[in-house]
Structures are given as structure tokens and as C-alpha cells.
């Protein structure tokens, strides 16, 4: 399922926000404003089976390029390569909606090699965001696969 915020049903939106809060606030013990203004204009990419959310990412079209983030796999579905699948689907949707645009992410630093396997290159040193080490990464359009 790939929908803009306006296309989501109220139940789909609640399911997404519940999963994001469970992963990014509760599991990672990181109190921050997880639902933000960017959600109003986001494109949401979901992997679900029988109405149950398994993996998620959001896409944001910004002036400097297309960003994606909030990438998660619901705890019960980890270890099934869904992280790789949700990133593939997200990059595919970016290519369709926003061709020839650079893709910019702020990745948790321990995932740099994972994103590197998709062609992303590091563009910053490691920095703390909400007390979690992150690194900025860039994928130029011609490197997309």
C-alpha cells in the first residue's frame, strides 16, 4: 500500500502512527515528537498482510531532494528481510513519483552498510539525533537500482 496522508483511512493512519510510536519512542526509549508537521504531506509506504502492518517508511519531497525515513519493521516480523523489501519499494516509488532527484536520508549509524548496499554514500560524520548516532547519506539518481 502506498498512499499520501490524505488518501489514508483514519484506521490506516492510526495503525501507522501506533507502529512508529512503538518502535521509535517506546522500543528505542526516545521521547520526542514522533508525529510531526511533515506527516501532513508525506507519502506512506506500507507492507501489510491481511490488514496487519509489517513494515513501513515515509517519503518527503523537499527542495534539496527526496527524503525518506521512519523506516521500520514491526517487531513480530523482523528477520524476514522486510527491511530490505520496504527500502526497495520506497526507492521504487521515489523513482516513479520523483524521477531524477537525489535521495537523502538520515540513517541510524549502525545501518550505514545496509543503506550502502542500495548505493547510498555517507555525506557526514556520525552525529547524535535524540541521543542516537546517525549519519547523513545520499543516493544520486543514476545509482538507483
Taking only the tens place, the pLDDT of each residue in 15-73 is: 888 888 888 888 887 777 788 899 899 999 999 998 899 999 999 999 999 999 999 99
Query: Could you tell me the three cell numbers for 135?
Result: 549519519
What is the pTM assigned to this prediction?
A: 0.87
Q: Kindly tell me if the per-residue pLDDT of 9 is higher than 60.
A: yes
Q: Kindly tell me if the per-residue pLDDT of 141 is higher than 80.
A: no
Least Cα distance to 44 among 19, 78, 7 occurs for: 7
Superfamily of domain 2-143 in CATH is: Gcn5-related N-acetyltransferase (GNAT) (3.40.630.30)
Taking only the tens place, the pLDDT of each residue in 113-140 is: 999 999 999 999 999 988 889 999 999 8
Residue 90 buriedness (CB in 10 A; 0-12 / 13-18 / 19+): buried
Residue boundaries of the structural domains of the chain: 2-143
For residue 132, the model assigns a pLDDT of 87
For residue 31, the model assigns a pLDDT of 77
Amino acid at each position: 500500500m502506498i498512499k499520501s496522508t490524505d488518501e489514508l483511512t483514519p484506521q490506516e493512519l492510526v495503525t501507522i502512527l501506533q507502529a512508529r510510536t512503538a518502535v521509535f519512542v517506546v522500543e528505542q526509549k526516545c521521547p520526542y515528537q514522533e508525529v510531526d508537521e511533515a506527516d501532513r504531506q508525506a507519502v506512506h509506504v506500507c507492507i501489510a498482510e491481511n490488514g496487519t502492518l509489517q513494515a513501513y517508511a515515509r517519503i518527503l519531497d523537499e527542495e534539496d531532494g527526496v527524503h525518506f525515513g521512519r523506516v521500520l519493521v514491526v517487531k513480530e516480523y523482523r528477520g524476514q528481510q522486510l527491511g530490505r523489501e520496504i527500502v526497495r519499494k520506497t526507492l521504487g516509488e521515489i523513482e516513479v513519483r520523483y524521477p531524477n532527484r537525489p535521495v537523502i536520508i538520515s540513517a541510524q549509524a549502525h545501518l550505514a552498510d545496509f543503506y550502502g548496499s542500495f548505493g547510498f554514500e555517507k555525506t557526514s560524520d556520525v552525529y547524535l539525533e535524540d541521543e542516537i548516532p546517525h549519519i547523513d547519506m545520499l543516493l544520486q539518481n543514476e545509482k538507483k537500482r
